[in-house]
Amino acid sequence: MSLIAKPKRIPKFHRGNAACPGCPIPREIDILLEELGPKTVLVVPAGCTTVVMGDMSGMPATVPVVHSAFAAAPAIASGIVRALRMRGDYDAYVVVWAGDGATGDIGFASLSGAAERNEDIIYVCYDNEAYMNTGIQRSGLTPYGAWTTTTPEGKREFKKPLPFIMAEHKIPYVATASIAYPFDYQAKVRKAKQIRGFRYIHLLSPCPPGWRFDASLTIEVAKLAVETGVWPLFEIENGEFRLTGISKNLLDKKNRKPVIEYLKLQGRFSKLTEEQIKEIQDAIDRMWEEIAARVKK
Amino acid sequence: MVQVLKRKALALVGNHAVAYAVKQAKPQVLAVFPITPQTTMLEKLAEYIASGELKAELIKVESEHSAMAAIYGAALAGARVFTATSSHGLLYMTEMIYWAGGQRVPIVAAIATRAIASPWSILDEHQDFLSKRDAIWIQIMAENVQEAYDLTIQAFRISEDERVILPVMMGFDGFILTHTMEKVEVLEDYEVDSFLPPRKFNLIDFSDPVGIGPLAQPDDYMRVRYDAMKAMERSKSVIEEIMREYEKLSGRKYDLVECYKCEDAKYIFVTMGAWSGDAKVAVNMLRDEGIEAGLLKIIVFRPFPKEKVQEYLRSAKGVVVFDRDYSYGSGGILANEVKAALYGLQVPVYSVIAGLGGKDVKPIHFQKVMEDLVNEKLEEERWLL
């Protein structure tokens, strides 16, 4: 008999779901549910997860799932959490699990309203940077230069800086995370669950078909987004800004990989000119100057 | 033996009467967004909650879409819920209205009916209310402030009845009822408690997690809608039963329709809402002239009381339907419903479109139209411009 026991983990989000190959969403939900436990309600607006959750014949989730119209999830979650608290249930978590379109575009008024009311909700935006479920159309969170079916020449506008916009709502907790750094992500969910009020976690979720990279490279791409500084990992707890994980070492530009390493893996950036790449690099550097100012504060 | 009860009577405007009924129904979660002419109801509810008279959460949402979404969520999680809106607010929450109807969740919404822009009008019309006729909601409409109070209480009971489980919309005319003070006989709180048992409906159960509203394949989708159709049909007899029970409690009779002197009438008005009172006055004026007039007031519009409409109108010489709404390119919405119900019965149905955008309609308008019908001068459709 071996003295080494194999770690055994029962998934909280079952395999055999309807996600595309290489999609990080199932793993992201699994980590979330592992941390939050079975007394969690997921509110899922229209998007990729609507499909990932299966149909009326069964679902991969092990917790109650409330499907929602595109713009309605934060308000539905507000209603659920108020009703649970009214019935004396104070330890259940109500989570909105929403894509970037539902979060930053069509559902933004509802999100902003729920944040302003400081509803006792954990909001997770899985950001795959376009309307992927409808077939890769640009959203307000699609990055500059990216090809989508509605930006065939590349997007002309920059990505909406949603984590910072949410932080300006003065909610108790805002964090960014990445599937390439699951412990950092899980630690942020753990921290969020210990706080009351509106908590916002923004997950960059690389999408193989939408970003045009091979399904085996999801973690690679996610990792490069952090290493190049495109996607800084941080948390803002009661207004206090803190870099986390490897992002702590990226304030110095020397430590950041050139953005081209991130861009060149993705077909959506294949038409970028040298000039545009420089523009993107400059924008990243400017963002890090702003971050440095926040860190000093 | 008729037992005469001495009732507490209050002088209330419509919005406050509905708020009073809501307070007695004890919802746990409300979400309301202000809109004229509903706003004073929201203010009254906020007062009740602030003073502790109503122990509930009032979610002060940033839009009507979120108002309906929030109470939908709360209703799924087992709370008795309420919202109120009007006109543009009702249109703005339409997506969630359909969502709540499709999922079949007990919800009560009070609709202060109002015209829809463009052009702007804050005054009464039924267009907003009737535009929700296909959303799988039970729709009832009040004639006066007393009925708005009574129907609100009954709406909670109907919505939560296990044989029904459907959202209910209670319409009452903007300004004409919302802002008019009338004497209202109210029930005692303990009487409402006995009429409204604690709510059982709940879909958020952590020991038995389910997915609510997932993708449906065509076979499943069709079946779900078929079940909704059956529930809507079934609700007719349940509503009648609940209304009879309410009559025992309150002494006030309710039914899917109200027949006012229509049993022996040859010429019958069909109306919904506040102007039914004007039509009753007109019936009496016409009777004084020797014209055998009557009125059939529709109280429950969805499910449409087809059988009652047939029963009361089948031997009429002429029926005049008054619509405060219009389906452009088709006809008066209520008129179309009545015509469909009377299909094959050879009853002449005339349509009058009046009162749009709050244009004043008086008993004399009803009287004149009916005189024209008797004198064979009434067109199939007439607009009272």
Q: Is the pLDDT of residue B1 over 60?
A: no
* Residues from chain A contacting residue B74 (CB–CB below 8 Å): 79-80, 82-83
Domain locations along chain B: 8-250, 257-383
Q: Please name the amino acid found at residue A258.
A: P
Q: What b/e readout covers B248-272, taking b as 16+ CB neighbours within 10 angstroms? A: ebbeeebbbbbbbbbeebebbbbbb
Q: How buried is residue B45: exposed, middle or buried, by Cβ count under 10 Å (0-12/13-18/19+)?
A: buried
CB-facing half-sphere around the CA of B121: CA atoms within 13 A: 20
Predicted structure pTM score: 0.96
Q: Domains (ranges, CATH) in chain A?
A: 25-296 (3.40.50.970)
Q: Is the pLDDT of residue B377 over 60?
A: yes
Indicate yes or no: CB of B69 within 8 angstroms of CB of A39.
no
Minimal C-alpha gap between B100 and chain A (Å): 10
What pairing do the DSSP bridges indicate for beta strands A122-127 and A93-99?
parallel
Indicate yes or no: CB of B81 within 8 angstroms of CB of A79.
yes
* Residues from chain A contacting residue B203 (CB–CB below 8 Å): 64
**Residue B4: its pLDDT value, please?**
58
**Residue B55: its pLDDT value, please?**
98
Q: Give B187-232 pLDDT, tens digit per residue.
A: 999 999 999 999 999 999 999 999 999 999 999 999 999 999 999 9
Indicate yes or no: CB of B211 within 8 angstroms of CB of A59.
yes
Nearest to B77 among A50, A61, A83 (CB): A83
Indicate yes or no: CB of A79 within 8 angstroms of CB of B211.
no
Average pLDDT, integer, range B106-120: 98
Give the closest residue to B370 by CA, choosing from B274, B295, B308, B259.
Answer: B295
Indicate yes or no: CB of A41 within 8 angstroms of CB of B204.
yes
Q: Is the pLDDT of residue A147 over 70?
A: yes
Please name the residue of chain A whose CA is at the shortest distance from the CA of residue B205: A64
Q: Do the beta carbons of residue B322 and residue B366 sit within 8 Å?
A: yes
Average pLDDT, integer, range B137-165: 98
What CATH architecture is B8-250? Answer: 3-Layer(aba) Sandwich (3.40)
Q: How far is Cα B310 from Cα B338, in angstroms, rounded to an integer?
A: 9
Indicate yes or no: CB of A72 within 8 angstroms of CB of B213.
no
Q: Looking at the complex, does the CB of residue B201 fall below 8 Å from at least one CB of chain A?
A: no
Indicate yes or no: CB of A72 within 8 angstroms of CB of B75.
no
Nearest to A67 among B31, B59, B212 (CB): B212
User: Could you tell me the two tokens for A202?
Assistant: 């923004």
* Residues from chain A contacting residue B215 (CB–CB below 8 Å): 50-51, 53-56
Q: Is the pLDDT of residue B183 over 70?
A: yes
Indicate yes or no: CB of A86 within 8 angstroms of CB of B67.
no
Q: Which of B76, B199, B201 to mutate to test the interface with A (most CBs of A within 10 A)?
A: B76
The DSSP 8-state label assigned to residue A151 in this structure reads: B
Question: B8-250 and B257-383: same fold?
Answer: yes
Across chain B, mean pLDDT equals 97
Q: Is the pLDDT of residue A296 over 90?
A: no
Q: How far is Cα B201 from Cα B207, in angstroms, rounded to an integer?
A: 16
Minimal C-alpha gap between B26 and chain A (Å): 12
Q: Looking at the complex, does the CB of residue B65 fall below 8 Å from at least one CB of chain A?
A: yes
ipTM of model: 0.96
CB-facing half-sphere around the CA of B43: CA atoms within 13 A: 8
What is the Cα gyration radius of chain A? Answer: 19
CB-facing half-sphere around the CA of B269: CA atoms within 13 A: 34
- Looking up tokens 């545009």, which residue turns up? A276
Q: How far is Cα B305 from Cα B340, in angstroms, rounded to an integer?
A: 12
Q: Looking at the complex, does the CB of residue B51 fall below 8 Å from at least one CB of chain A?
A: no
Residues of A with CB under 8 A from a CB of B: 38-39, 41, 43, 50-51, 53-57, 59, 61-69, 71-80, 82-87, 92, 109-110, 112-113, 116-117
Please name the residue of chain A whose CA is at the shortest distance from the CA of residue B82: A79
Give Cα B322 to chain centroid, integer Å.
16
CB contacts < 8 A, A to B, total: 160
Q: Give A42-51 pLDDT, tens digit per residue.
A: 999 999 999 9
Beta-carbon contacts of A232 under 8 Å, excluding residues fewer than 6 positions away, are: A176, A226, A243, A247, A250, A287, A288, A291
Q: How far is Cα A174 from Cα A167, in angstroms, rounded to an integer?
A: 6
* Residues from chain B contacting residue A77 (CB–CB below 8 Å): 73
**Residue B7: its pLDDT value, please?**
83
What CATH architecture is B257-383? Answer: 3-Layer(aba) Sandwich (3.40)
Coil/strand/helix, residue B15: helix
Q: Is the pLDDT of residue A297 over 80?
A: no
**Residue A4: its pLDDT value, please?**
78
Q: Is the pLDDT of residue B2 over 60?
A: no
Q: Looking at the complex, does the CB of residue B206 fall below 8 Å from at least one CB of chain A?
A: yes
Q: Please name the amino acid found at residue A65.
A: V
**Residue A1: its pLDDT value, please?**
60
- pLDDT class of B10 with cuts at 50, 70, 90: very high
- pLDDT class of A8 with cuts at 50, 70, 90: confident
Compute φ and ψ for B241, nearest 5 degrees.
Answer: -65, -45
